Amino acid sequence: MFALEVLALERRTALLLGASGLVGGELLKLLLESDLYRQVTIFVRTPLPIEHEKLRQVVVDFARLESYERHFYVDDVFCCLGTTRKKAKTKQQFIQVDYEYTLRAAALAEKCRVKSFLTVSSVGANPCSPFFYQRIKGETEEALQRLAIPSLHIFRPSLLVGKRREFRLGETLAGWLLCRLPFLFVGKWKKYKPVDARQLALAM
């Protein structure tokens, strides 16, 4: 068998959740550019204005994630789902997206025997944190680690910077300011340095 034929057989398949977000958008570009993947499926609420021979867009109702189980038969699942307290409006809606949807996606990945599950959490994630955001992220991590997924990767970035589809004044100002004060992020504070979304996507 020729080397190219072997490569074609070994190329992987991926499912990406959260492709319309900052990190998910960067990750989608990288997956489509990568020779490692022959097919990339994304779950979206509304179709994205992107066309590619490797891309499959599936319009889903995230509240009925189990209805789309057949799409979880892939090699790798990338979960970039997430929201903010402001956008979610209530704590329960925030929990639904950041905790429930992520855990349900991971459970389906486990059931369909994916090789790896990669997801974005947050610096300071801790189930015992007095801060709501970090506590939910920590509880999510804890629940994920109880699943029997062969390769689980959890990424804990600080403030994410990059070009968003939606304008967030607070995060934009914070990112602009903190990126101009690199001397603050040394030693134990290094982990709080703002992270470029593309760099995080590359790490994933």
pLDDT of 26 reads 96
Instruction: Say whether pLDDT at 189 is over 70.
Output: no
Given the structure tokens 């903190």, which residue do they identify? 178
pLDDT of 159 reads 82
Instruction: Say whether pLDDT at 178 is over 70.
Output: no
- CATH code for residues 3-167+195-203: 3.40.50.720
Active-site residue flag, 137: yes
Round to whole Å and give the CA distance between 107 and 134: 22
Helix or strand run (H / E) with residue 60: none
pLDDT of 156 reads 95
The residue from 111, 133, 192, 193 that is catalytic is 133
Q: How confident is the model at residue 3 (pLDDT cuts 50, 70, 90)?
A: very low
Interhelix angle 132-144/102-111, rounded to 10 degrees, is 10
Residue 128 φ then ψ, to 5°: -105, 10
Residues 194-203 as b/e (b if ≥16 CB within 10 A, e otherwise) read bbbbbebbee
Could you report the per-residue pLDDT of 116-174, keeping only the tens digit for each? 999 999 999 999 999 999 999 999 999 999 999 999 999 999 888 766 555 454 455 44
Could you report the per-residue pLDDT of 49-108, keeping only the tens digit for each? 999 999 999 999 999 999 999 999 999 999 999 987 677 789 999 999 999 999 999 999
Q: Are 201 and 14 in contact (CB under 8 A)?
A: no
Active-site residue flag, 115: no
Got the DSSP string for 133-146?
HHHHHHHHHHHHTT
The residue from 137, 188, 190, 191 that is catalytic is 137
